Amino acid sequence: MDTVSVVITTFNRRHFLKDATLSVLSQDYPAKEVIIIDDGSTDGSREEVEGLPVKYIWKENSGISSARNEGIRVAKGRYISFLDVDDLWKKKKLSTQIMLMEEKGYRISYTDEIWLKNGKRINQKLRHRKYSGYIFPFCLPLCIISPSSVVIEKEVFNEVGLFDETLPVCEDYDMWLRISARYPILFVDKPLIIKRGGHEDQLSKKYEAMDRFRVKSIVNILKKGILDEEMKKEAVRELLKKCEILANGARKRNLIKEAEYFSRLPLIIDRD
């Protein structure tokens, strides 16, 4: 049986932690280890999982990328799977993904999701549609891969690098761009995770104009020189779209220098 290290990341989410952890421990494909990375909680989170067979690591608060990276560094399994503490796994998540990855020869897979907002199920929009194979173009508009749904060979991180700790949000978008530019990704068309949203401390509610972080990621991957010509065209096309939206938004707020920056950025990158 191949080994999976599960990395659960949390920060002051004690009320979610036990349910998330139990959804991992109840899998029919047992994990080699369950690692909880506590990114500086002060709410007594550790007490919530006392007695459970997990490795609990508390660290100074440094953000979600830092927490995931710590989990990657200490993980001993061939595969790594992430779980954000406000999400849950369905019972056959790991066994389904591992079986299909081995059968089809993929190094990374992700699954469909059930979305809950304030406890009520909501539908995904068409733009959240998911794909298999070389999906780089589909990863450019927005993040279609939930970290909580991923199973990935640890060796992949040695090749693409860790999560970008300079990004307060969209760090997952950045990672999937780097991975999808290099590898095919398997989509498992089954809702094997439950995403629980609507709470006030969600990172997506903390930052406005999140495309500015996605723009940074697109610029970075264009500069790396790893994209083929078709990927580069797709990336520049998406960069133009996002920069136009950001520039228009800045003008409306009378942020002239910011508007000029986003207007000029695609021209600078295209010249390079």
Give the N- to C-terminal CA distance of the chain in Å, as an integer: 48
Model confidence pLDDT, tens digit, residues 242-265: 999 999 999 999 999 999 999 999
Mean pLDDT of 76-86: 97
Residue whose entry in the numeric block shows the structure tokens 């990855």: 101
Which secondary-structure segment (H or E) carries 34? strand 33-38
Confidence of residue 271 (pLDDT cuts 50, 70, 90): low
- Judge whether residue 45 has pLDDT over 90: yes
CA 133 distance to own-chain centroid: 18
202, 222, 244 — which closes off a domain? 202
174, 202, 230 — which closes off a domain? 202
Which CATH number does the domain housing residue 59 bear? 3.90.550.10
CA-atom Rg of the chain in angstroms: 19
Q: Are 38 and 10 in contact (CB under 8 A)?
A: yes
160, 177, 202 — which closes off a domain? 202
Short-list 260, 241, 240, CA closest to 250? 260
The whole model's pTM is what? 0.93
129 lies in the same domain as 179: yes
262 lies in the same domain as 142: no
Q: Are 218 and 137 in contact (CB under 8 A)?
A: no
Range of the domain at 250: 211-271
Dmax over CA atoms of the chain, in Å, equals 59
155 lies in the same domain as 264: no
- Judge whether residue 96 has pLDDT over 70: yes
192 lies in the same domain as 221: no
Domains of the chain: total = 2
Least confident segment among 15-19, 67-71, 118-122, 236-240: 118-122
For residue 243, give both structure tokens.
Answer: 């920069």
